[in-house]
Structure 1
Amino acid sequence: MSPAPAGAEPRRRALLALGLGLVAAPALAQTPPDPPVPGVKSRPARSLILMVGGPAGGAADRWARGFAPYLERQLPRAALGVEAVPGEGGLTAIRRLLEASTEARMMGTVSAPLLISRAVELGQTSLLSGLDWLAAVSDEPVVLVTAVRPGGDLAAFRAMGEAATLGLPPPGTAAALFGDAWMRLSPASLLHFPSAAAARQAALAGNVAAAAVALTEAIGAIREGRLEPLGLASASRCPLLPEVPTLMEQGIPLIAGAQRGFVLPPGVPPRIRERLVAALRATVEDPEFRARGDSAGFVPRFIAPEVWSAQITASIERLGRRWAEEPWQINARG
């Protein structure tokens, strides 16, 4: 393999890890190179850095490293790397991406609405409008769960009223925004935990009456029979748990979830942009990536650039109005 372009190697803090998450990711291709053609120079692989707005080893970093081997299958002449850039809830990475030259070959990984929440809190939504929202690749619906116990159903939880404690991840996450909306429909006491895993554990231990978390955080315990799903905050039933009713079916008009996807700095040449969009679409259709989603608790779904960009713009406006009218709590974060 030819050496990486000058300046790229310091950014590559780690080569792609294999198989992070609940299902092993595919190994990177190890096929031997084609024999050289006389009189024709071979084309070296170009580095593509996936920039993550969060600490190394965090949830966003793990997701990017788990996704990268599948994407690399669709970009055979690209050598992918992942760089974790903590700070400002992901906005430091966005600033770095916007400042980078289009020749730097960087693509940002983002989670919405979390990144939007952080931008709204800090009054930095103008940063988001400068991005090229390339595509979304997965949905993570919010699920309401409780410990397995006799009579542990949605009606019993709602009947507890304000005596019921609803465990939530940190403010600004999809599940935490769900909790705020829940309070407008059904009384309960909200308790934010430092992480979604901590909220899930509190529900498992019976320390809270229920918890709202992303399905990725709860699907393992649900399938093992250790957590009881009360309902999914989605428009239709999830193919991963088709037996679990939506909250809509049960008379609660709440839909909440996170989307993961990718952004580019402005000015990336159209041919490169189109190639990346095609690679992301093909990755979502990869049977092994879809199998990973089935085990890990996310739904692979490709959302094209124009559609996703419009959704993000609407979300920025909606969360901006909500923040102005009734700000949510802010936790310290990296």
Structure 2
Amino acid sequence: MIIAYAPGGGTDLVARLIAPYIEKYLGNNARIVVSNKAGAGGGIGFAELAKAAPDGYTIGFLNTPNLISIPIERQSTFHWKDYDLIGNLIDDPGAFTVNTSSEFKTLKDLVVYAKANPGKVTVGSTGVGSDDHLAMLFFEKAAGVKLTHVPYKGSGETRAAVVSGQLVVGAINVGEALAYIKGGSPMRMIGQMSLKRTVLAPDTPTFAEQGYNMESASLRGLAAPKGLPPEIRDRLVKAVAQAAADPEYIKKAGELFAPIRYLAPPAYAKELADTEKMLQQLWKDMPWKE
């Protein structure tokens, strides 16, 4: 099971959590070995998965928007259609977080200040072209403001900058933000980018509720190289669907603050196609290379 990011991150944790349940439903003493292939914003792992033999012995996680944004911004050796989709597992909405001492209690507070002080609101993300960075661009467009992007290597660095006061806003996914907050970090979410409030953060209003018509999230799902024999593909799809519905897995995912959202392959493909259209338009309007 290829993970395109480093050990200890959100995708890696979910992969190691669900692997035993997939093994359980595959049966026949199936064993899954997690292999981290980090680098190039996920591009190294995505490329390795795409070029692997389509024999059912190699599967891996796909992460949006990176899976889709990389081929848009530069030449790459993979595209989301180069995989046999097995099923999506996680849908982690974006969020804006601030220090608990911040004067900003709502997105409107932030917008009023940003309009009066163009460029003075710094927003930290996990890198150029990441879901966090693209969410910032969507918000700039929706709210008509100019923000200053500050890229970091990971959400942990963004969290530290928010806590220390170096950043005004941290663009951090809901699941990660909640883990930091529950862990004692003096942070609060002022808006989540889901279509409706996630059950993990029922008290945090969405961006749409606050008047900013936008949605942004990071899907994390499983796929295999294109061309699996139908019987092997069907077996993997069934095992992942059963694992995703396992009550014990669901309980443990909640303990990790992982926002679960299973999508069968057809629905998963539609979601990826819709995201691709949205990012292609964003690239035309606001190219995100820096």
Shorter-chain TM-score: what band? 0.7 to 0.9
- Measure, in 2, the Cα distance between the counterparts of 1:96 and 1:260: 17
Q: Give deviations 1:261-285, integer Å, cap 9, x for gaps.
A: 0111122122221121121112222
- Are the counterparts in 2 of residues 219 and 296 from structure 1 also a CA contact under 8 Å? no
Partner in structure 2 of residue 271 of structure 1: 231
Alignment partner of 1:240: what SS? coil
Counterpart pick for 1:65 among 2, 6, 16: 16
Work out the CA distance in 1 between the residues paired with 2:282 and 2:103: 35
Q: Deviations over 1:239-261 (max 9, x none)?
A: 01111111111111121110110
2:75 maps to 123
| Cα distance in 2 for residues equivalent to 1:151 and 1:56 | 35
CA contact (8 A) 2:56 2:224 kept: no
Greater shift, 228-237 or 127-136, is seen at 127-136
In the TM superposition, residue 167 of structure 1 has moved relative to its aligned partner by 2.0
2: distance between equivalents of 1:120 and 1:130? 15
Q: Number of matched residues? A: 281
- Give me the whole-angstrom Cα distance separating, in 2, the residues matched to 1:158 and 1:263: 39
Paired position in structure 2 for 1:159: 112
CA distance in 2, matches of 1:217, 1:140: 9
Identical pairs, percent: 25
* Aligned residue number for residue 80 of structure 1: 32
Map of 1:259 onto structure 2 = 219
Please, which runs of 5 or more residues in structure 1 have no aligned partner?
Answer: 1-49
Return the TM-score normalized by structure 1.
0.76
How has the CA–CA distance of structure 1 residues 82 and 221 changed in structure 2, closer, same or farther, with 3 Å as cutoff? Answer: closer
1:93 aligns with one of 42, 45, 52: 45
Kindly state the Cα deviation for residue 71 of structure 1 after the two structures are TM-superposed: 2.1
Seen in structure 2, the aligned counterparts of structure 1 residues 150 and 119 have a Cα distance that, compared at 3 Å, is closer
Match of 1:133 among 85, 94, 104: 85
Comparing 180-189 and 120-129, the one that deviates more: 120-129
* 1:173 equivalent in alignment to 2:163: no
- After TM superposition, the structure 1 = structure 2 runs for residues 200-239 of structure 1, keeping only pairs within 5 Å, are 200-223=159-182, 224=184, 226-239=186-199
Q: Looking at CA atoms only, which structure, 1 or 2, has the larger radius of gyration?
A: 1
Separation in 1, partners of 2:42, 2:126: 17
Show structure 2 runs of 5+ residues with no match.
none
Is the contact between residue 43 and residue 67 of structure 2 (CA under 8 Å) also seen in structure 1?
yes
Q: Which amino acid aligns with 1:196?
A: S
Q: Distance between the aligned counterparts of 1:53 and 1:84, measured in 2? A: 6
- Bigger relative contact order (CA 8 A; separation at least 6): 2
3-state SS of 2:91 partner: strand
Counterpart Cα distance in 2 of 1:52 and 1:150: 36
CA distance in 2, matches of 1:226, 1:311: 34
CA-based RMSD of the aligned residues comes to: 2.3
Partner of 1:297: 257
Whichever residue aligns with residue 227 of structure 1, its letter is M
Output the TM-score relative to the length of structure 2: 0.87
